[in-house]
């Protein structure tokens, strides 16, 4: 028992220390989001550990064992099927909002023969997406703010956005822009980290502390709930059509621990970069563990949204 208590105390002290050394990366503006993603892209740690996709994986429901990178690819196909994008004709024009380094865009172009335009607030992500994309894929990438898309109204057959919403300070403007550029008859597919809706219970003191860490460490101004973002979509000036939502928390939950375990599976990915990569990995680990706790306990939910524009 004494050994167990010693180990537990050591883990608690280490965890607290790692949170302390992280400092603060709270949201300040779109520039702070761009700077965070520029840094994550330029050090190449996440790419070397997780591959082309920064988003979570889909492990089935009930979840089953899967390679982390394969689960990320499965996520793209699951969202395509669930949202109905697989029913769109070859050559359909798809906008990927918050495209990262282009992993999802390349799958949409390669496996579904879509013409994909990816946008990100991060110049480093766009540069890396271009570098990783073969010339024979119908993909292009641009630096652009999702709250002010420099794109014509009704110009895309589908709009796709995965885990971008938490960085948006104005959720209604985000919903409006996603729907504004969608053609009549087009499809919207959104997947996001969402907080528990206040109507389902106020946060406890511990939950408020955890929520503040989740917001500050990864430059999030606020999380929408599934219900509140549904409200944003339904109340948009461009919302003529049908909306469907679901909660994929269970199917995606293993991602958080897997994202840490990848460092053990691929130690060379960290060690080859050097000591800074080890420090960076330690810096992110507490937030990943807090995310797992939040999604496992229901403080956070993984919402998916499908809109058929009429």
Classify each residue of 209-236 as buried b or exposed e, where b means 16 or more C-beta atoms within 10 Å of its C-beta.
Answer: ebbebbbbbbbbbbbbbbbbbbebbeeb
Q: Is the pLDDT of residue 268 over 90?
A: no
Residue 8 belongs to a domain: no
Residue 122 belongs to a domain: yes
CATH number of the domain where residue 124 is located: 3.40.50.150
Residue 182 belongs to a domain: yes
pLDDT at 262: 87
SS3 category, 28: coil
Q: Is the pLDDT of residue 257 over 70?
A: yes
pLDDT at 49: 86
Based on the structure, what is the number of domains in the chain? 1
In terms of residue numbers, what domain contains 231? 22-309
Residue 197 belongs to a domain: yes
DSSP character string of 245-266: EEE-HHHHTHHHHHHHHHHHH-
The angle at the Cα of 120, spanning 146 to 73, to the nearest 5 degrees, equals: 110
Residue 17 belongs to a domain: no
Residue 222 belongs to a domain: yes
72 contacts 57 by C-beta, under 8 angstroms: yes
8-17, 73-82, 112-121, 271-280: range with lowest mean pLDDT: 8-17
Residue 13 belongs to a domain: no
Residue 16 belongs to a domain: no
For 208, what's the count of Cα atoms within 13 Å in the CB-facing half-sphere?
6
Q: Is the pLDDT of residue 62 over 50?
A: yes
Q: What average pLDDT does range 236-263 have in this prediction? A: 94
Q: What is the CA radius of gyration of the chain?
A: 19
54 contacts 218 by C-beta, under 8 angstroms: no
Residue 247 β-bridge partners: 303
pLDDT (tens digit, 9 = 90+) per residue, 90-128? Answer: 999 999 999 999 999 999 999 999 999 999 999 999 999
pLDDT (tens digit, 9 = 90+) per residue, 172-231? Answer: 999 999 999 999 999 999 999 999 999 999 999 999 999 999 999 999 999 999 999 999
Q: Is the pLDDT of residue 9 over 70?
A: no
195 contacts 300 by C-beta, under 8 angstroms: yes
């Amino acid at each position: 028992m004494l050994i167990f208590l010693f180990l537990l105390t050591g883990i608690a002290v280490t965890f607290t220390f790692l949170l302390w050394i992280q400092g603060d990366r709270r949201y300040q503006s779109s520039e702070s989001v761009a700077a965070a993603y520029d840094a994550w892209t330029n050090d190449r740690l996440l790419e070397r550990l997780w591959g082309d996709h920064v988003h979570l994986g889909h492990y089935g429901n009930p979840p089953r064992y899967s390679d982390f990178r394969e689960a990320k690819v499965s996520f793209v196909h699951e969202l395509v099927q669930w949202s109905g994008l697989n029913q769109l004709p070859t050559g359909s024009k798809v906008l990927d909002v918050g495209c990262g380094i282009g992993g999802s865009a390349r799958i949409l172009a390669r496996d579904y023969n879509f013409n994909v335009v990816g946008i990100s607030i991060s110049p480093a992500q766009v540069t890396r997406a271009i570098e990783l994309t073969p010339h024979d894929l119908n993909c292009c990438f641009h630096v652009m703010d999702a709250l002010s898309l420099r794109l014509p109204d009704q110009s895309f057959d589908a709009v796709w956005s995965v885990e971008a919403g938490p960085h948006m300070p104005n959720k209604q403007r985000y919903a409006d822009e996603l729907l504004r550029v969608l053609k009549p008859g087009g499809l919207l597919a959104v997947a996001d980290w969402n907080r528990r809706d206040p109507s389902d219970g106020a946060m406890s003191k511990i939950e408020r502390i955890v929520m503040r860490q989740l917001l500050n460490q990864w430059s999030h101004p606020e999380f929408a709930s599934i219900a509140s973002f549904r409200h944003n979509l339904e109340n948009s000036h461009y919302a003529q059509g049908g909306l469907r939502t679901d909660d994929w928390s269970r199917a995606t939950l293993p991602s958080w621990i897997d994202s840490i375990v990848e460092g053990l599976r691929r130690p060379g990915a960290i060690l080859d970069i050097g000591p800074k990569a080890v420090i960076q990995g330690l810096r992110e680990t507490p937030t990943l563990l807090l995310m797992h706790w939040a999604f496992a306990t229901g403080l956070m939910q993984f919402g998916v949204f499908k809109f058929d524009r009429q």
